[in-house]
Amino acid sequence: MRHLLLAATAAGFLLAGHTAVAATAYVSNEKDNNLSVIDLDKLETVATIDVGMRPRGLALSHDNKLLFICASDSDRVQVMDLASRKIVKELPSGADPEQFALHPNNKWLYISNEDDALVTVVDVDSEQVLGQIDVGVEPEGMAVSPDGKWAVNTSETTSMLHWIDTATNQLVDNTQVDQRPRHVEFSQDGKLLWASAEIGGTVTVVDVATRQPLKTLNFQIKGVHPDKVQPVGVKLTADGKYAFVALGPANHVAVVDAQTYEVLDYLLVGRRVWHMAFTPGEKQLLTTNGVSGDVSVIDVASRKVTKSIKVGRYPWGVVVTP
């Protein structure tokens, strides 16, 4: 522990020395209670920052100045000032926060409380809880629509998407999907919602206007048993052309044509791939690989995996600042 801390401090000084010019990725290490900081020019881990217990979901404020961290076992959301890399506040998150999403107004944070079957809404400025909404068992994925109208939560054991009207913070509709929905992602235009189902092995694309499923995607990888295909993270390119789906213990990321829903390719990454983030300009896609303890770098244009970067134990969430 002590040498880790020293390393972190030393690296912190180094970074403080020359002002950060390179884009940076922050990776939460669920079993190490810290974040790995990756310099995206060097593609190396350059620092480690201690945070609360069992850090999982990560999110950036829309100005990229603040990093929100779900410290699940500390039962709080920590807010880190990225300039100083210090925790500047701790938000009342409800118990066991796992994932969250920030409203376009940069104020309302929608947090899933995995153990309590709740979604907690917190005002990040006033640090007040604005509301708690009952959802299904083991709420996990969270997303807010680009127009800010909807907050959508997935509940894993209930296998539903819960639609929360952000104007009233009331649950107004539910969409049943395949088993163990893990993650939801809105398309840039806000018309479609992509939802992964880990045990169902599928991704459902939902029409936001009707809240009805439009299309269910399946994945088949040669040489991988279908049971191991367990979709988790989903990332959509800003131009609406491609979707990337992390397939968990199948150790592959699927590349999907977001117009035709055809699976174009499967890219081999590290073991138990969880979540993903694009580097600036969507040149590269980073994936967190829980079991192998590393981050894979995918070159988006060539669809090739170009590098693995060692991080901590059970890397879970990842975000990128320019």
Of the pair 93, 230, the CB lying nearest other proteins is at: 230
The DSSP letter of residue 73 is G
178 binds other proteins (CB under 8 A): yes
Of the pair 174, 237, the CB lying nearest other proteins is at: 174
d(C-alpha 247, C-alpha 230), whole Å: 5
Q: How far is the CB of 295 from other proteins (least distance, A)?
A: 19
d(C-alpha 188, C-alpha 190), whole Å: 5
174 binds other proteins (CB under 8 A): yes
211 binds other proteins (CB under 8 A): yes
Task: Identify which range of 80-88, 103-111, 226-234, 303-311 contacts other proteins by CB under 8 A.
Answer: 226-234
Give, as ranges, the residues between 99 and 138 that touch other proteins (CB under 8 A): 114-115, 117, 136-138
Give, as ranges, the residues between 2 and 21 that touch other proteins (CB under 8 A): none
Task: Identify which range of 5-13, 84-92, 172-180, 183-191 contacts other proteins by CB under 8 A.
Answer: 172-180
Of the pair 78, 155, the CB lying nearest other proteins is at: 155
Of the pair 70, 300, the CB lying nearest other proteins is at: 70
141 binds other proteins (CB under 8 A): no
Q: How far is the CB of 301 from other proteins (least distance, A)?
A: 32
Contact by Cβ (8 Å): 265, 303: yes
Q: How far is the CB of 223 from other proteins (least distance, A)?
A: 12
Q: Which amino acid is at 136?
A: G
200 binds other proteins (CB under 8 A): yes
**Residues for the chain: how many in total?**
322
d(C-alpha 148, C-alpha 29), whole Å: 30
Contact by Cβ (8 Å): 269, 298: yes
- Looking at the chain, the number of H-run helices and the number of E-run strands are 1, 28
Show the tokens assigned to 144: 């807010």
Cβ neighbours, 10 Å, residue 34? 23
Q: Which one of residues 16, 172, 238, 264 is an interface residue with other proteins (CB under 8 A)? A: 172
Q: How far is the CB of 300 from other proteins (least distance, A)?
A: 29
Task: Identify which range of 38-46, 144-152, 209-217, 305-313 contacts other proteins by CB under 8 A.
Answer: 209-217
Residues with Cβ within 8 Å of 155's Cβ and at least 6 positions away in sequence, in order, are: 117, 135, 136, 137, 138, 139, 140, 162, 181
Q: Which one of residues 156, 256, 285, 296 is an interface residue with other proteins (CB under 8 A)? A: 156
231 binds other proteins (CB under 8 A): no
Q: Which one of residues 64, 105, 106, 176 is an interface residue with other proteins (CB under 8 A)? A: 176
d(C-alpha 262, C-alpha 260), whole Å: 5
169 binds other proteins (CB under 8 A): no
Contact by Cβ (8 Å): 7, 22: no
160 binds other proteins (CB under 8 A): yes
Site of tokens 């994925």? 141
d(C-alpha 230, C-alpha 245), whole Å: 10
d(C-alpha 231, C-alpha 89), whole Å: 33
Residue ranges that bind other proteins, judged by CB under 8 A? 96, 114-115, 117, 136-138, 155-160, 171-180, 199-202, 204, 211-213, 216, 218, 225, 227-228, 230, 249
